[in-house]
Structure formats: C-alpha cells, structure tokens
Chains A and B, each alone.
Chain A
Amino acid sequence: MIALLLLAPLLAALLIIVLRRWPAALGLAGSLGALVGAAGLLWQVRHHPVVRFTWPGLPGLPYGLGATPFTALLAVIVAVVALLIFVYARGYMAHERGKVWFWASMSLFVAAMQLLVLSADWLLFVTGWELMGLASFLLIATWHWEEKARQGAVNAFLLTRFTDLGLYLGIVIILLQSGTSLMQAEPGPAIPLVGALALLLAVMGKSAQVPFQSWLAGAMAGPTPVSALLHSATMVAAGVVLLLRAYPLLPPASLPYIGAVGGATIVLTGFTALCSNDIKQLLAASTSSQLGFMLVALAAGFPGAAVSHLVAHAFMKSGLFLSAGLFQHQNESTLFARISGSGRTAPVALAGWALAGLALAGVPPLVGYWSKDAILAAGLGAGNPAWYFGVAAGGALLTALYIGRSLGLLWRGPARPAADAVGLGLMRAGLLGLVGFVVGGGFFLADVLRFVGYALPEAPAAQLTGLTAAALGLGLGWFLRAADVGTPVLRFVQDNYPIGGGFPALVGRPTLALAAACGRFDEYLHRQVLGLGGAVLALAGRGRRADTRLRQAAAGVGPATLALAARTRRADAGLAAAVQGLAGAFRRAGQLSRPVQSGLVHRELLWTVLGVLALVAALFVSLFRWF
C-alpha cells in the first residue's frame, strides 16, 4: 500500500515528462492511485498499529518507511485534498500553456509530500522536504515567461532553502545523539536547545512564519491550484509535521520560542490579511497566520489541538483558494477592486468562499469551529495562559474580521458578468468536494483524532470566547471598506513589513555585491600568478634553469628505463619500432599544437612525454616478460 501510495504519483510525473502527452489524465490517475493506496494503508494500520520497513541508506543510518494511524490519516487527507484540487486544475488549466510542466510538477509535489508523511527516518524526511521545495519551485515558475513568476519561484526556493540549513543542523544533532537515523518510538533524552532552535528555523521557513512569510506572497504568481495545494495539506503543513515529529525530543526551554514565533505571526500576518487589496494575497497572509495558531498550540503543550487545526485548515484553505480561482477566471484578476461584487453573479464560488471562510472564522458547526476552540482551550491550559490565550483570541478576532471584510467586498460593488469559461464544471466539482468536508468534517473531528491517538482540549470559556470573536469580527468586518492604497503604513503592512527594504535589500544585494567582489579579487589573484609565472619562465629561458630541471627528470627516468630494457633482453626490434611509432605520432600531435603553442614550455613538455612514454613502454615490456 505504501508503494502504491508513493509510486503512483511519482510514476505519473515520470510518464508525463517522458510521453509529453495526456498530462492531466496521467496526473489524475496518479492522484487517484495515491488515494487508493492511502485508504488501504489506513485500513491496514487499523489492525496493525505500526507498519515499518527499513533498508540500507548511509552506513549505520538506514532508510525507513512506515505508518502509524496518525501518519496514515495524514496521507489520506493529503491524497483527498490533492485529488480534489487535481480535478479542479483539470478545468482551470484547460486553456493555459505549460501543461506538461504543470502536471508533472504537481504529481512530483504530491509524491514528495507523501514521502515526507510516511518517512520513518530523518534522511527520507529531509528528502521529501527538499523534493517538495524543488516541486514548488517548478510549480511557481509554471508561467515562467512572466517575470513575476520567475522571481517568485526563485525567492520561494532560496528563502526556504536558507531556513532548511536549520533542518540539516537539527538532524545532524539528532542523529549524532541517538546514533541512528530511524525515528524512535520511545523518545530518547531531549536534544540541546540549539538543535531545537535550528529545527524551528526550518519550520519558520517552510510554514512561512515571521520573518520568512514573504515567499508565500510571491508564490501567488503560480496557477491558483498550485497555491491551493501549497497552502493546505502540503508544503506549509510540512513545517508543522516536522514539529510534531520532533516534539518528543524538544527540550521544554524551546517551547517559549515556538510560541513567540507563532504568536507574532498570528498577529502580524493577520493584519496583513486584513489590509490586503488582493484576494490571493489575503489568503497567503491568512495561511501564515493560521499556521501560527498551530505553533502556539504546540508550544502550549497540546499537539492534539495543532493536529486538529492542521486537518481542518487543509480543507478550509484549499476551498478558499479554489473559489478565489473561480473569481479569478471570471474577472481575469485577483484584485478586490476588479472582483468586488462578483459574488452576486457567481453563486457557487461565493457559497464555497462563504462556507470555507465562515469555518475559518470559527462559526459552528463548521469544521473550523472545533479546531479553533481546541486551540483556544490549549491557550487556557498553557503554563502562561495570559499570553497564549490572549494571542489566540486576538487571532480569532482578526480571522473573523478579514473573512467578514472579504465577504462584504465580494457581495457589494458593481454587478459583474457571470463567468463563461471552459472547465467551469470541473472547477466547481473540486470546490464542492472540499466544501463538503468543511461542512461535515466538524462532526467527526474529535473521533478521528481520538482514533489516531490525540486528545482535543475543551473549555467552556474557550467556546464562549471563540463565538464572541467570530460574531464580533464578522459583523465589523462586513463594513470595512477596500483598503485605500496610499498611506505608507498600510503599504508597509500589505507588503509583509519590509523593514529596511526587506530581504532583497538586506540580504540579496549585499550577497551579490560580495560575490562580484570575490570574482574581481579572483581575477586579480590570477593576474598576479600569471605575472609571477611569466617572470619565472623568462628567467628560465635565459638561464635554462627550468630546462635543467625538466631534463634532469627526463634524464633520470631515461637511463633507468634503458637499464631495465637491457636487462629484460626482450625488447626486440618490433617493440622498439612500436615505441618509436608511438613517439613519432605524439611528436606529430605536438606539432599540431605548435602553431598555437611554440617555444620553451612546449619543447620541454615533449621531452617529458617522450621520457614518460619510454618508461611506460618499458613497463609494458616487463609485463610481457611475466607471462
């Protein structure tokens, strides 16, 4: 089952690349195969709690694949969300360029995420992690003839790879401490704080936490199904999966750092989402903010709450993206200024947006209500409830505000003509499938989590706070107008707080300047060496010193060879002629390059060739004598 789950999308990707035809059909088939495999795996794990097998990787550090009920559930969720997005993408990409590139990368992406989910050792984990980065680079660059897409792809990969160095460092520390690459069922002693912080760096990059959230905004240059996949069950989710995997190894001292990162992200990116004037940018900022909730829940000591929000968010956010893509197809834009009011003429898209959005805001009985309550309850149960609960409640209010505002913007405004694009039916089908989970999932969430071994924290105060925040936020948000562009503060928030010019100015340009300086210095160094060499050669030409050295070397090997040859008494005329022939031919080879390369060096080299050749030939002779 694991093999089917991993190989189906991988084979689909390979076939698409090799055949260069039927990309969508192959992609869908691979995705369907993965879903069958995942479902089968979940069934398998129901009877045998852990499936695991290993094979040799690095010396003493084996590879391992395996599934627990939790990872099997995660695999199923990834497969379901991916399949529905694939169905949608079949319609979305019907008339777009770059289908082969797109579908191959999508399939590779899903395979990489499944590898990460099912890895039972750290080496395969990092393999899935980085392959996903490669696939996301390719996907964001799908429309690479647009400058924005190229730049977004490079920024995304570069920023996440920088933070991945933390993953490398963290894994090195874990491996050296535990002595094996396999993830242990019984956790050993906690790793040092520096290892935990290194892992946190990797999480911050992949899950787009402050200050690394900006790559998500740039990633919007890719097709919308890509964003839907990246922002829901894969890519950003990988960061949280990493924290869940490493959770038993984390020292208690590291938890406040995780909480601080998550809390700061909730608030800062929540404001970015609230101020956004583009529907996809709103979703990008919202993703960072929602993942911040998961970090806060983990730091509060309630991984179950984080898992529940991870699951719920996968369905909610992919649903939101798919409806945003419908608006985009209708109006050829994602700016609120261009799509406001189009909700009235696109009922399916609006319904999808409203249901998934209300769920995200925490309206019962939708799935997000349960997971957000769990996080608020986790905040109350934390060691420092004032901070954890406060930031979670503030975040819930912000979420409701930006959802309410987006609903108001989509509803009010001029009436826009209804969409008339090909593939609309498939797009709607994918969206409705996801919304179905958003509506119905809440009733099963607690049971499913209990099945995979996680408990959901509950507290009446949390429920009350959540409901108040949702009602208040949605009500106020409805009346917020589209942000008026112009005020510098607003721009600053919209652009993800580019302090000092952001990464391009603070890191990018200095790095390139340093690189250019290194290049220039190297040329200088080279000129110095050439000058030195030239001087030496000139000296040698007059004084014949280089000559002497080379001739000595040649002369040294020459007599030795001759002596040997004399001793063997087998160096008959035929062999000698062969040697002569060889030497002659090489002289001719040398003459060929004489026009280019004349003079001293050349002649000496030729001597060396001859001497060495004679030596090698003599070796040959002695070899023959041996038999």
Chain B
Amino acid sequence: MNTFPLLSLTVFLPLLGAALLLLLRPRGRRAAFAIGIGTAALTLLAAGLVWARGVPGGFAQLEELPWIPAIGAAYRLGVDGVSLPLVLLTAVLFLATLIYSANTSEQPASFVALMLLLETACLGAFLALDLLLFYVFFEVTLVGMYFIIAGWGHDNPKQAALTFFIYTLVGSLFLLLAILALYLGAAPHTFDMRALLAHPPLGGTAALLTFGALALAFAIKTPLFPFHTWLPTAHTAAPAAGSAILAGVLLKLGGYGFIRFGLQMTPDAFRQLAPYVLGLAVFSAIYGAFAALGQTDIKRMVAYTSVNHMGYVVFGVAAAALRPAGGPFGLDGAVLQMVSHGIVTGGLFLLIGALQDRTHTRDMGQLGGLAPAYPVLSGLFILASFASLGLPALAHFPAEFQIFLGGYQVAPVATALLLVGLIITTALYLRAIQRVFLGEQPAVLSPLGDLGARELWAIGPLVALIVLIGLYPEFLLGLIHATQRLIMAGHE
C-alpha cells in the first residue's frame, strides 16, 4: 500500500476534475460546482490519507520518476512536517472557497476549472522536491490567479491583475536565477532538492547573492515592505474566493520558500544576513499594521493585515536562521502562523464577500449596526477578527507567542518592537467592529437575510478550525516540531 502514489494523486486530482469539466462542458452552474466541490472534497480526503499514512519528520512518501535525466531534473515529490500542514491548509481552503462561490453565475465551468488548476499548482509547489518542478508549479499559480482576478474581479481588475503580474514576474525571474545558481553550484549538477538540502551547495559570495535573489523573490510573494503594494490592489479587485485563496494559500509560498530555500539551502548566508531580514520583517509588520489602520475599505484593511501577519512569519524564520542550536520556537511558530493566517484571513475574506453581497459597499464609513441585523455573520466576523488580533484560545496566539519566544532569544529589542504590531491590529479591528457591526440597526436590510446554508458550509468549518488550532495546537505542532528539530539539527 505504501507504494501507492498518494502524493501524486493528491496533486493531480484537482487537475483531473478540471479536465473532466472541460471535456463534459456542463452548461449549468450546479453541475460545474458539483464536479468542483466533489473533486476538492476528494483532494482533501487524499491529503488526509497522506497525513494518516504518517509523516515522521524527514521527507516521507517519496515518489520519483525520471523526467529530463540529461540535466538531472526528475519528477520528485515528498512530504514533511513543514509542507504537510500547508497541503492540508490548501485542501481545506479550496474546498471552502469552492463551496462559497457556488453562486457564481458568470462562466461557472471556466471558473471552477481555473480554481482546480490553481489547486493542483499550489499542492504541487508545496510537495515538489525538484527545483524545476517547483518552479513550474510556482509559475502556474501566478497564471491561475491572474485569470481569476482578471476574469471574475470587480472595480478595476485589469490594473490589479497587471500589477500582480508585473510584481510576481520579477520575483519569478530572481527565483529562476537562484535556482540556476543552486543547480550549477551542486556537484554533480542536480535539481534534486533533497540533495541540495542535505548538502547546501554554495558558499561565500555566491551563497550571499543566491540568498539575496531568493529573499527578493519570496519577499515579493510573502509580501514584505516595500514589495507589497500589489497585494491590496489585487485583493480589492479579486472576487471573495480569489482573495481567500490569494491570502490563504499563495502568500504561503513566500513563507514556505524562505524556509525551504533560504533556511535550508543557503543557511550560512541566511545567518549572515538574518539581522537585516529581521529588521525588514519587523518594519514590514508594523508598517502593515499602520497602513491597515489607515484604510476605510474593510477589505483593503484586512489585506494590509496580511503584510503584518506574514511579517511575523519571516521574523520567526529569520530568528531560527540566526540561532540554529537553541531557538526551536521561531520556526515552529512561523509554520503554524502560516496555517493560522490562511484559515483566519481566508475566513475573513469570505465573510467580507458575504457582507458585500448584502450591503453593496465595503466603505466602513457607510456601514453600521450590522450586528443586530445579521447576528450570525457579525458574530463570526467578530470571532475571526479577535483571532486575527491574536487573542489566546484562537488560532493566531499559539503561533505568534512562539515567534515572540523564539525572537526574544536572539533579538529582544526587535521582539519588543514587534509587539507594537499587536496593539495596532487590535486597534484596527476594534475600530472596524465598532463602525461596521455595532450601533443602531440600519433601516433597509438586504433580502438575503443572515448567512445562508452555502455560506455557513464554507465558513463554519474554518471558524471551527480557528478554535481548534487555538485550543489544541498540538495536533499540528507535533508534526511541525519533529521536522523543525531535523532542520535545526542539520544546521549546526
């Protein structure tokens, strides 16, 4: 049973669904989404089976096929405690967003097919153990998201998609350069990530330059200041499902890249430059929080909080890079923070979509008193907001607290500064809750009423996960911690 290529099945199930859609070309919305939701559910099941089969710490469930032997590229997949939580996150979020967007009336079949293609790309990027394969999947995520924004967005999707395209293309270019450097540095030349992880090939200036290229590529994706301006623009234009995926999954490719490439393939260079990365991460986190506080559009506000939360992720990874022997908390926290942020922000964007369907505006100045009008929608939004501002017993706290612990060991002052971000996010969420949800009920209510079954099925599980991760983070942390120890041990 253990030879069954479960990872490949997980990765390509969504693509199969997309192919099915394009071959059958269902006319109706229901049929298209039935196929889409069914496929996403099966993918989640497959990801669950990967988890059930066991991930001891190092790369497990390896699959390898020759691809282009002449240059040492192969189809290589594998999973460890860093990638599995992100794979599970991806599977959960795509299922939730497909359920959520089941009322899309415009070209439903194409939308579902694109979403499924995007899911395959994301899963593939997290599971690929070959540089070339990773690069391919990484690029496809860009393409899929470009079409979702441009085709199903609102306001000004052309400009937003264009910005997204420019930025990420630049990032990809640097990623490609770094990949080539790693390939050429290895002896014998190989794209096998496991070989590159076990024996980081580069040293000296070459390593520094390569790390610089990697850091730039992933700083755009994560995103860190000043490479983040594509993010609010893309979110403002993207449909709710697109925003949830963009913030929930695609940004994680940046954090994942910092760990898998920066920390594991160029560890010495990362250690040397870690103080700068730490500084940039702190500044980015605080700047993101302040910029979010300055918004009036609630969706833009949540988009900017991603800059804040992902700054914590990079901070945690950089803290781990700085202190290989002692600091277990930073890396544990960073990986968990990615999962928490995916669930919480994904949920928030879906809730904002539901809000916009009812109020037809996202301007906080024009909203008010929604709590008595839509109690379930408001209650869930308030819960997710408090999760996002890091309230204990909800998803972000265990992650952020570990990042603080790990950070304080290596950079107490920077950590104390990072704490300032917490109070600013608190302020901005309280302000949003006060303006949008509290107050006297508006005179005219939407005929949609409170959250319907479709929305509850999409958002409810995410909220349940927010509480579960908050109360019992061990179910993911056990997994992450085992791998983290191996990474740190290989580091000394």
Contact = CB atoms under 8 A, between A and B. Distances in A.
B415 to A, nearest CB: 8
Given A168-B419, A522-B229, A622 B143 contact: no
Interface string A605-620: 1001100100110011
B467 to A, nearest CB: 11
Contacts of B113: 585-586, 589
A129 B434 CA distance: 22
Given A134-B386, A145-B369, A620-B12, A605 B146 contact: yes
A297 B259 CA distance: 51
Interface in B454-486: 473-474, 477-478, 481
Nearest to B391: A130
B356 interface: no
A592 B151 contact: yes
Interface string B152-195: 00000111011101110000010000000000000000000000
Interface string B409-449: 10000011001101110111011001000111000000000
Nearest to A625: B65
Interface stretch (B51-59, B211-219, B291-299): B291-299
A543 interface: no
A623 B5 contact: yes
Contact of A522 (B75, B136, B291, B379): B291
A96 to B, nearest CB: 14
Given A60-B328, A519-B291, A519-B295, A601 B419 contact: no
Given A168-B419, A519-B291, A511 B427 contact: yes
A176 interface: yes
Interface string A156-174: 0110011001001100110
Contacts of B158: 596-597
B152 to A, nearest CB: 9
A94 to B, nearest CB: 20
Contact of B22 (A131, A516, A585, A593): A585
Interface string A530-552: 10010011000000000001000
Closest 7 CB pairs of A and B: A519-B294, A515-B293, A585-B22, A515-B294, A127-B392, A144-B438, A526-B229
Interface of B: 5, 8, 12, 15, 18-19, 22-23, 25, 65-68, 75, 107, 110, 113-114, 120, 136, 139-140, 143, 146-147, 150-151, 157-159, 161-163, 165-167, 173, 226, 229-230, 232-233, 287, 290-295, 328-329, 332, 369, 371, 379, 386, 391-393, 397-398, 401-402, 404-405, 408-409, 415-416, 419-420, 422-424, 426-428, 430-431, 434, 438-440, 473-474, 477-478, 481
24 contacts: A17-B379, A56-B478, A58-B329, A58-B473, A123-B401, A131-B391, A158-B427, A165-B422, A172-B404, A514-B290, A515-B293, A525-B226, A526-B229, A526-B233, A582-B22, A588-B110, A589-B114, A589-B147, A596-B157, A605-B147, A608-B139, A612-B139, A612-B140, A612-B143
Interface of A: 17, 56-60, 123, 126-127, 129-131, 134, 137, 141, 144-145, 150, 153-154, 157-158, 161-162, 165, 168-169, 172-173, 175-176, 511-512, 514-522, 525-526, 529-530, 533, 536-537, 549, 557, 560, 563-564, 578, 581-582, 585-586, 588-590, 592-593, 596-597, 601, 605, 608-609, 612, 615-616, 619-620, 622-623, 626
Given A60-B328, A129-B392, A605-B143, 14 more contacts: A57-B398, A59-B481, A131-B391, A134-B391, A158-B430, A529-B230, A557-B136, A578-B23, A586-B22, A589-B107, A589-B110, A596-B157, A597-B150, A612-B136
